[in-house]
Amino acid sequence: MIKPKFPVDEQQRLAALRSYHLLDTLPEKDFDNITAVTANICDVPISLVTLLDADRNFLKSQYGLSLNETPRDISFCGHAILDESNIFIVEDARKDERFKDNPLVTEMNAIFYAGVRLVNSDGYPLGTLCVFDTKPRTLTKSQQKALVALAYQVVNLFEARKHNRMLLTAQAELEERNEELKHFAGIVSHDMKMPLANMIITSDMLRTKYGQLLDEQGRDYLDYIKQSSFTLSEYITGLLEHYETNKTAAFRSEVFDSQDMLEEIIELLNINMDCEINLPEENIEMQANKVALEQILLNLIGNSLKYNDKEKIRIDIDCREKDGMYYFEITDNGMGIPNNQLSKIFDLFVTNNTLDRNGKKGNGIGLSTVKKLVNRLEGNIEASSVLGEGTTVKFNIKKLD
């Protein structure tokens, strides 16, 4: 018997093998199906998917055999990975100097062997797809071609599992980062809102007590400090709402009337301007995440009020149910949005540099939060607009059981 040699790049090959995290894993149906098909095509009693580790040959899948691994120094696959031909064949191991007194031959009657290297995308042979028989034999050209093709599919499965594992790892890391960011945002909110409130109160106190001692510019500075504090406070609140959408979207569904909900939202907005809001004619008994839906509508109707330069504001709201979805449409006669900016309005921190009715600039958080909530409720959202005439926002959410 001749022990198989090690490849010159053995350490790199082992590193590549271990990056797939397949060693010592349980049997998997996808691989077992391939070994079963391989044995049937080649008309042999044994078929294996092997992974050649440092000192053993791990059997990822075995058909016709009950072993999990064999020593590397007696493995046929140790020789096969060194052979760069398409397929490594030993027709009668009893007559081959490399294998004639090998325990696999003398004790397990492994006479015939054919193996195809499982070469990964970086060119490293990880193991083999191989077949054994207890008698001397040959493979037909079509059997050899099928064995090579099936080995290619095994490698595809390796790569797919590695890719999925990487995606799951990346997802877990992103979730961890997101939790850290939400925690940080919570701390920032707590630590910054109190100083901001103090700044607002202090500016009011200074204006009351010392306003008569200040000139117009000084009083403007105090107003600027107060307004900037309000703006930053709103920004922090919006950011927190954005990162709390997962919790909001996780609230249980409840049954409620669409008309009652919309009337509650209008009351919450505390509208103190000339405004006509037309509600849907039909009242729908809805079953959905009411908390999330209210946040969506508060933001959208609020935008229709803020970004409106008309003397009389008009907002038309439509709501209907179809095929297990609730469809909403909100149309206003406001400022409108330029066409080249419509595709970006739902992106986080993106603004169109338009000042609202009170001369304030948005922070680009609200609509991003709305889209995130709509997506979490298994719906879609889109907007259309005519500059100077108004905007229509359409969205739908899934009816919940």
Comparing CA positions, the residue from 93, 151, 141 lying closest to residue 117 is 151
**CATH of region 10-168:** 3.30.450.40
Distance CA 255, CA 21 (A): 48
Distance of CA 288 to the CA centre of its chain: 24
Reported as a single tens digit per residue, the pLDDT across 119-177 is: 999 999 999 999 999 999 999 999 999 999 999 999 999 999 999 999 888 888 888 87
3-state secondary structure string across the chain = CCCCCCCCCHHHHHHHHHCCCCCCCCCCHHHHHHHHHHHHHHCCCEEEEEEECCCEEEEEEEECCCCCEEEHHHCHHHHHCCCCCCCEEECCHHHCCCCCCCHHHHCCCCCEEEEEEEECCCCCEEEEEEEEECCCCCCCHHHHHHHHHHHHHHHHHHHHHHHHHHHHHHHHHHHHHHHHHHHHHHHHHHHHHHHHHHHHHHHHHHHHHHHHHCCHHHHHHHHHHHHHHHHHHHHHHHHHHHHCHHHHHCCCCEEEEHHHHHHHHHHHHCCCCCEEEECCCCCCEEEECHHHHHHHHHHHHHHHHHCCCCCCEEEEEEEEEECCEEEEEEEECCCCCCHHHHCCCCCCCCCCCCECCCCCECCCCHHHHHHHHHHHCCCCEEEEEECCCEEEEEEEEECCC
Distance CA 278, CA 149 (A): 66
Stretch 85-96: mean pLDDT: 94
Domain parsing of the chain, residue ranges: 10-168, 245-398
Distance CA 15, CA 6 (A): 14
Contacts of 281 (CB under 8 A, 6+ apart): none
Q: How confident is the model at residue 231 (pLDDT cuts 50, 70, 90)?
A: low
Q: How confident is the model at residue 240 (pLDDT cuts 50, 70, 90)?
A: low
Stretch 210-217: mean pLDDT: 86
Reported as a single tens digit per residue, the pLDDT across 282-315 is: 999 999 988 889 889 988 999 999 999 999 999 9
Choose from 82-96, 236-250, 267-281 the range with maximum mean pLDDT. Answer: 82-96
Confidence (pLDDT) at 216: 87
Q: How confident is the model at residue 76 (pLDDT cuts 50, 70, 90)?
A: very high
Contacts of 264 (CB under 8 A, 6+ apart): 294
Reported as a single tens digit per residue, the pLDDT across 14-59 is: 999 999 999 999 999 999 999 999 999 999 999 999 999 999 999 9
CB-count burial class (<10 Å; 0-12, 13-18, 19+) for 252: exposed
Reported as a single tens digit per residue, the pLDDT across 93-126 is: 999 999 999 999 999 999 999 999 999 999 999 9
Contacts of 141 (CB under 8 A, 6+ apart): none
Distance CA 20, CA 192 (A): 46
Q: Does domain 245-398 have CATH number 3.30.565.10?
A: yes
Confidence (pLDDT) at 242: 64
Contacts of 399 (CB under 8 A, 6+ apart): 286, 287, 288, 321, 324, 325, 326
Comparing CA positions, the residue from 322, 341, 350 lying closest to residue 385 is 341
**How do strand 325-332 and strand 390-398 relate by DSSP bridges?**
antiparallel
Reported as a single tens digit per residue, the pLDDT across 243-265 is: 666 666 667 788 999 999 999 98
> How crowded is residue 236: how many other Cβ atoms within 10 Å of its Cβ?
19
